[in-house]
Amino acid sequence: MKSLKIAAVVLTAGCALVACGTDKSNEPAETMPQSSEPAGKAASQQVQYDTGDYFPKYRVPYRDMTSLEGGKAIESNVIADVHLLGYEFNPVLKDGRRSANVYTHNGFGEFLLSNYMSTLEEMNPPIQGGHYLVSQSQDRETEFLSTIVRLDSAKSAQKMANKLYELSVTQGPQLSDHKEIAKDPKKLDRERIAEDVPVKEVPNTRASKAKSRNLEKSTDSTAMETFTTHNEFMIYTRGNGNPKAFGKTRAQAIAFLKKQVPLLDSIPTHKTAAGYGKLKNWAPTDKHGLLRYAVTTPVGAPAPQDVGTHSARAYAGTHMRPDGNMKILELSGIEHVASWETTIGKASGEDSAKTYQNAYISKAVDTQDFEKYDEPQQLPNTKCMKQDSSSGGGVECVMVYGDMIAKGVQGYSLPLDRDGSETSVTKSDSEHKDQDKYAPESLEAAQKLLSQKMAAQYKIFEDAKKNPKGSVPPSLQSVKPR
């Protein structure tokens, strides 16, 4: 559901942060200062809230990671922290379409066709982490995709960039893989082959352009691809725009690269075997202590798409209107967030936390067809909203606890009839025994699950004051990613 879109993380090694609480060889992250007293605390002390299977205690500090599998998630997140949002280099790119981490070359399969992917499969580039964003103008005329990946060395980055560029100007995006094309040249659609575009404004950059198609508007467009290296980083971009205004498409790519490349030097990268990078190990798992407050995934449940800590910029990029969400975060003084089953942020004060809650809910209700509803368990300082469609929908709640905010989301999909069409759900239908309780098929089921999640969140905030050392959560080794 687009309005409830969360940053996608390809959790190839299971839950990205599974091992970080048990690695005893590393130092713990810092502990957050305790939250201030919430309004209405005395009235809520006697209430027993339903937390379902969610762990309702403040957890022990996360350990810094040393394993490659978990570290890729950490490094991808710090790359996302400096990844420019569309409106930061082109004011018309106000809408966010996609935000995802890239752990291996398979992540490129979200936007590259068969011949590119089969070539990358052969190369198996040593990607250490990465992130991509897709932004779009509100009139759907202009779209821009940018991907930043870090490899083990400058040589590897250059090799990957060169190969992608060569494919662009010799084949272009094709539905057949490169081996099939080599065996049968008739499978090569020559209309897709790109031509070189000189780009002298940005060092170590090659570019190409080709005919494209705007599928949303059913009109012709021109696509420009760029391939840039900066030390061990490789940046790939693709911008689509009006064929009669290619100059704007080109200027957009150059504007992005000129602003983006210098930011790469600020990333706290781990040192690779080839000697590239700054840190002996990976960046801290929970530098600001926020992830300890987040609700974790129950054993056996599917992990959420977004796990880890983020800058305000990276978090804003996971929303449909990054610019508006960034303004709300800045207004509230929220500089970092941490996400698991819930997303946690620390505002500049209790009033600022309430400002975030009110602004976030109001904006969604006013501009994205959300409707407010009462939280089922009447959790303190919690506001909720819902959005539905013919195929399903989602619910979202924002809780304020002192200067902390916690946000939870839960989607649901209506079950299909035998002919594949959606059908309405009665209460009895939604309670059939084989239904996965973590994949609700009705609004009511989604509201109940989210209420349990937010109740666990409230108890975690309460427990953090009583038990600052934290508790060890149940083993998460069985958590399977979506």
Residues 300, 410 share a domain: yes
Residues 359, 253 share a domain: no
Q: What is the pLDDT of residue 24?
A: 32
pLDDT in tens, 325-340: 999 999 999 999 999 9
Q: Which of 270, 279, 286 is nearest to 29 (CA)?
A: 286
**Three-state secondary-structure class, residue 181:** helix
> For the domain that residue 232 is a member of, what is the CATH number?
3.40.1000.70
Looking at the DSSP bridge assignments, the partners of residue 346 are 404
Question: Cβ contacts of residue 288 below 8 Å, gap of 6+?
Answer: 30, 32, 309, 336, 338, 346
Residues 211, 323 share a domain: no
Whether the Cβ atoms of residue 75 and residue 282 lie closer than 8 Å to each other: yes
Count of domains observed in the chain: 2
Within 13 Å and on the Cβ side, how many CA atoms surround 140?
8
Whether the Cβ atoms of residue 347 and residue 333 lie closer than 8 Å to each other: yes
Q: Which of 312, 317, 311, 11 is nearest to 145 (CA)?
A: 317
Within 13 Å and on the Cβ side, how many CA atoms surround 201?
14
Query: Can you tell me which residue has the tokens 């996302």?
Result: 80
Question: Residue 235 and residue 41: Cα distance in Å, rounded?
Answer: 50
* Averaged pLDDT for residues 143-171: 97
Instruction: Specify the DSSP class assigned to residue 24.
Output: T
Dihedrals φ, ψ of 180, to 5°? -65, -40
In a domain, 305, yes or no: yes
Q: Say which range, 22-31, 84-93, 103-112, has the weakest mean pLDDT.
A: 22-31
Q: Which two tokens stand for residue 222?
A: 């021109």
b/e 239-270 (16+ beta carbons within 10 angstroms → b) = bbbeeeebeebbebbbbbbeebbeebeebebb
Residues 314, 258 share a domain: no
Question: Residue 236 and residue 145: Cα distance in Å, rounded?
Answer: 8
* Averaged pLDDT for residues 447-458: 98
Whether the Cβ atoms of residue 140 and residue 165 lie closer than 8 Å to each other: no
Query: Looking at the predicted structure, is the pLDDT value of residue 253 above 60?
Result: yes
Whether the Cβ atoms of residue 102 and residue 149 lie closer than 8 Å to each other: yes
Residues 323, 214 share a domain: no
In a domain, 255, yes or no: yes
In a domain, 10, yes or no: no
Query: Looking at the predicted structure, is the pLDDT value of residue 142 above 70?
Result: yes
Whether the Cβ atoms of residue 226 and residue 207 lie closer than 8 Å to each other: yes
Residues 332, 249 share a domain: no
> For the domain that residue 320 is a member of, what is the CATH number?
3.40.1000
Query: Looking at the predicted structure, is the pLDDT value of residue 7 above 50?
Result: no
> 416 or 165: which carries more pLDDT confidence?
165
Instruction: Specify the DSSP class assigned to residue 422.
Output: B
Question: Residue 263 and residue 228: Cα distance in Å, rounded?
Answer: 14
Q: Decide: residue 404, CB within 10 A, 0-12 exposed, 13-18 middle, 19+ buried.
A: buried
Q: Count the neighbouring beta carbons within 10 Å of the beta carbon of residue 174.
A: 20
- Alpha helices (H) in 128-237, listed in sequence order: 154-170, 178-183
In a domain, 53, yes or no: no
Query: Looking at the predicted structure, is the pLDDT value of residue 165 above 50?
Result: yes
Q: Which of 21, 13, 118 is nearest to 76 (CA)?
A: 13
Residues 449, 323 share a domain: yes
Whether the Cβ atoms of residue 255 and residue 249 lie closer than 8 Å to each other: no
pLDDT in tens, 8-57: 332 222 233 322 333 333 333 333 444 444 545 554 456 899 999 999 99
pLDDT in tens, 208-251: 999 887 777 778 889 999 999 999 999 999 999 999 999 999 99
In a domain, 410, yes or no: yes
Domain residues for the domain of 443 are 291-414+437-466
Q: Say which range, 307-311, 447-451, 458-462, has the weakest mean pLDDT.
A: 307-311
Whether the Cβ atoms of residue 438 and residue 27 lie closer than 8 Å to each other: no
